[in-house]
Amino acid sequence: MVKPDLNTFTYTPTNNWTLFTPEERVEKVQAYIDKKSVYADIKVTVADKNGHVVVRIDHSIPANERGLFLLEMEQELKKNIDVGITIWLEPVGDKSKLRQLRGVEVKT
């Protein structure tokens, strides 16, 4: 495991990114995602001024592939839109039918 280095530079969004309205940021990221067939069924829900982009994936990606997929998408967005973008996955509720039948509630 690699230990984090506190002296590592972290990119922040550029002035161009911060000058866009929230809607323009969402549209800009969504337009790029829509051009790539690899990112089909991904919807941008939020694009904050601080570079946080929240996405919702409408299809299932296996857990062992999801992290790498999102990291690669983040790198593409950093190269093509703004270096300060970070991808966040929208939280989803518990989809287990068995737990729903038992009445077990998982708070997220």
pLDDT at 59: 81
Beta strand spans in the chain (E):
42-47, 52-57, 86-89
Q: Which of 108, 100, 79 has its CA nearest to residue 11?
A: 79
Mean pLDDT of 66-92: 92
Residue 71 has a pLDDT of 93
Find out whether 63 and 15 touch, Cβ atoms under 8 Å.
Answer: no
- 96-107 pLDDT, tens digit per residue, is 666 666 665 666
Domain segments of the chain as ranges? 15-89
Quick: pLDDT tens for 32-66.
999 988 888 899 999 999 999 999 988 878 888 88
The confidence score (pLDDT) of residue 2 equals 60
| Residue-level pLDDT at 103 | 62
pLDDT of residue 104: 58
- Write down the mean pLDDT value for the chain: 86
Those residues with Cβ within 8 angstroms of residue 21's Cβ, 6 or more apart along the chain or in another chain:
none
> What is d(CA 35, CA 102) in angstroms, rounded to the nearest whole number?
43
